Amino acid sequence: MIKIEIDTAEVRELRGESKVTGKPYHIRIQSGYAFVTGPDGKPARYPERFEFLLDAEQAPYPPGVYQLHPSAIRVREGRLTLASVVLAPVKQSAMA
C-alpha cells in the first residue's frame, strides 16, 4: 500500500488558450504527500510532495489519509503505469 496524505483541499487552477489550437484550457491541480521508499527499499525519512490533476468537475479530495485505488493502475503495452491518481480513504484503524 502506498500511503497518501492530503493536508488541504486547496486546488490550483490554470486557465488559458492553447497557442497551438487556440482552444481554451482549464487545468485543476491538487497536491498531496506520498510515503514512499528509497532506492534501498527502506521508507524515506520524509514523505514526498507531489501534484496530481483533477477532472473538470471532480471535487478536491478533503484532508485525510488515502491509498492508491486499484483503478489507478493500468498495464499499457506490457508496462505497469499509473493511469490517473484515484485515491481511496484509509480507515484510521488500518494505519495504526
pLDDT, tens digit, 9 for 90 and up, residues 49-95: 999 999 989 999 999 999 999 999 999 999 999 888 999 999 876 55
The Cα–Cα gap between 41 and 91 comes to 25
pLDDT, tens digit (0-9, with 9 covering 90-100), for 7-57: 999 999 999 999 999 999 999 999 999 999 989 999 999 999 999 999 989
Q: What are the φ and ψ backbone dihedral angles of 81, each rounded to 5 degrees?
A: -135, 165
State how far the Cα of 74 lies from the Cα of 13, in Å rounded to an integer: 27
Report how far residue 8's alpha carbon sits from residue 5's, in angstroms, rounded to the nearest whole number: 9
pLDDT computed for residue 40 by the predictor: 93
Domains belonging to the chain, first-starting first, are: 3-95 (2.40.50.140)
CB-count burial class (<10 Å; 0-12, 13-18, 19+) for 51? exposed
pLDDT score of 93? 66
